[in-house]
Amino acid sequence: MTKCGFKVIGLFLIFSVLLTGCMTSARHQQNLSSSQEKEMTVGIVKKEIRVGMSQADVAASLGSPNIVSKDSDSKEVWIYDKIATEASYSREAGGVSGAGGAAGTTGTTLLLGFISGGYGKSSGAMSTTQKTLTVIIRFDKSEKVESFSYHASKF
């Protein structure tokens, strides 16, 4: 193999290592999976819950409530209180190093040469977000939805 062939292979290997080690924080975020099978959102509450629905239908749509109580008129009230914390961390590290050597003879003298270099970089970012959703569903005496309200926040 010629010197030019070795140079091409060497450059290819260096760039292959550099390109495969780079991933952005957004890409790391996409790779995170949610631990919740069905996330409760305001959209789901607005779409699924209707005045006149039975308690069984509400439970099928939203799951079991966190709190069940009675109001001043002895009507049942269901409260769903959901809190989610999402934390993501991204770290990227990379480096380049190289080495080269040469040997040769001129007459009776042996010539040796060596060159080396290196560079490294590391960076990272962390993000934490908390979301809360409180849903209050009031039922009438016949256990049908009388009214519902919700409050959502993200910080």
Supply 20's token pair. Answer: 């495969």
Q: What are phi and psi of 136, to 5 degrees?
A: -115, 120
What's the pLDDT tens digit per position in 106-138?
A: 666 555 555 566 666 777 788 888 999 999 999
pLDDT at residue number 134: 96
Distance in Å from the first CA to the final CA of the chain: 61
Arch. (CATH architecture) of 39-90+127-155: 2-Layer Sandwich (3.30)
For the chain, counts of helices (H) and of strands (E): 4, 4
pLDDT at residue number 57: 96
pLDDT at residue number 127: 85
> Which residue, 149, 151, 142, 150, is CA-closest to 76?
142
Q: Whole-model pTM?
A: 0.56
Which residues of the chain carry a pLDDT beneath 50? 35-37
Instruction: Return d(Cα 76, Cα 140) in angstroms, integer.
Output: 7
Please enumerate in sequence order all residues whose Cβ is within 8 A of that of 101, keeping only pairs 6 or more positions apart, or say none.
112, 113, 114, 115
Query: What are the residue ranges spanned by the domains of the chain?
Result: 39-90+127-155
pLDDT at residue number 94: 65
